[in-house]
């Protein structure tokens, strides 16, 4: 299985602070059957900006260590990029990273709102052949207040990634309920742990999938896992039209 969102690099943002903690997270990931991880340290965040060169350098270092440890995991470069009006320019300058060198980027909205220019940024990215994946929309207060805000972003061409811990209930019952509702409305396309450490923000990858199965949402679990694999290969994803249209009809996004 593939985890497309994890803060696994050490000493660079609010993820693990030591290489020992990074290795403990990787051991948990290995025990959950994770074979590939996209390292998505914060970029353009008000508190953190991990440069592209730093990400690539540490990913190379950790892959060498992982190989010698026989963990059977491969790390890939990426960033969790905070929404900004100059994202397209920075991508052209190659100072920002796509996910595993694909045409997809992980885009983080401010936690409390969906800025009015978000749709414009999505359209500009798509025009450059880059597809934005909205990170953890279920934890955005603006979307929690009005889930149709996420629907508008998806209709504009964005994709969305839900967090394993949200589905598992570690962020509270309200966020868990919204997570399941967004899945059922076909507004979620990808799945990631957004793990930061082994205590407060552990991977919980399997636990989230187990909750989906128990809630009779196994088909959505299969879909997001398959899409994770397709993203890593830079291939088209399977996207279901939102519930308000034709729930079972598929269309393709590449």
**In the prediction, which pLDDT does 243 show?**
58
190 phi/psi in degrees, rounded to 5? -140, 165
Both structure tokens of 117: 């220019």
The length of the chain, given as a count of residues: 254
d(CA 181, CA 195): 22
**In the prediction, which pLDDT does 70 show?**
86
Mean pLDDT taken over the chain: 92
Q: Kindly tell me if the per-residue pLDDT of 101 is higher than 60.
A: yes
**In the prediction, which pLDDT does 242 show?**
67
d(CA 206, CA 55): 26
Query: What distance lies between CA 218 and its chain's CA centroid?
Result: 19
Residue ranges of domains in the chain? 2-253
Both structure tokens of 171: 């962020």
Q: Kindly tell me if the per-residue pLDDT of 7 is higher than 80.
A: yes
Topology given in CATH for the domain delimited by 2-253? TIM Barrel (3.20.20)
Q: What is the pLDDT of residues 166-206, one digit of tens each?
A: 999 999 999 999 999 999 999 999 999 999 998 888 888 99
What lies within 8 Å, CB to CB, of 238 at 6+ separation is 223, 226, 227, 230, 250, 252
User: pLDDT grade, residue 154 (50/70/90)?
Assistant: very high
> Are 155 and 253 spatial neighbours (Cβ–Cβ below 8 Å)?
no
DSSP string spanning 103-120? SEEEEEPPTT---TTHHH
Q: Kindly tell me if the per-residue pLDDT of 253 is higher than 70.
A: no
Mean pLDDT calculated for residue range 222-240: 94
Q: Which of 155, 249, 163 is nearest to 205 (CA)?
A: 163
């Amino acid at each position: 299985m593939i985890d497309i969102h994890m803060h696994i690099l050490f000493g660079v943002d609010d993820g693990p602070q030591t290489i020992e903690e990074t290795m403990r997270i990787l051991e948990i990931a290995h025990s959950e059957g994770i074979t590939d991880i996209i390292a998505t340290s914060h970029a353009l965040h008000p508190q953190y900006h991990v440069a592209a060169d730093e990400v690539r350098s540490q990913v190379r270092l950790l892959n060498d260590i992982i190989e010698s440890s026989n963990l059977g995991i491969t790390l890939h470069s990426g960033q969790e990029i905070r929404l900004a009006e100059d994202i397209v320019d920075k991508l052209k300058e190659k100072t920002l990273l796509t996910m595993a060198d694909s045409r997809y980027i992980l885009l983080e909205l401010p936690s409390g709102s969906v800025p009015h220019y978000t749709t414009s940024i999505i359209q500009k990215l798509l025009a450059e052949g880059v597809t934005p994946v909205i990170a953890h929309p279920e934890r955005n207060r603006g979307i929690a207040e009005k889930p149709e805000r996420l629907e508008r972003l998806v209709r504009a061409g964005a994709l969305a990634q839900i967090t394993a811990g949200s589905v598992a209930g570690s962020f509270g019952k309200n966020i868990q309920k919204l997570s399941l509702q967004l899945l059922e409305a076909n507004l979620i396309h990808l799945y990631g742990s957004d793990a930061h450490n082994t205590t407060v923000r552990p991977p919980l990858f399997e636990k989230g999938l187990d909750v989906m199965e128990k809630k009779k949402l196994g088909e959505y679990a299969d879909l997001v896992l398959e899409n994770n694999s397709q993203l890593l290969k830079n291939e088209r994803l399977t996207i279901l039209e939102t519930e308000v249209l034709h729930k079972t009809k598929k269309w393709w996004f590449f």
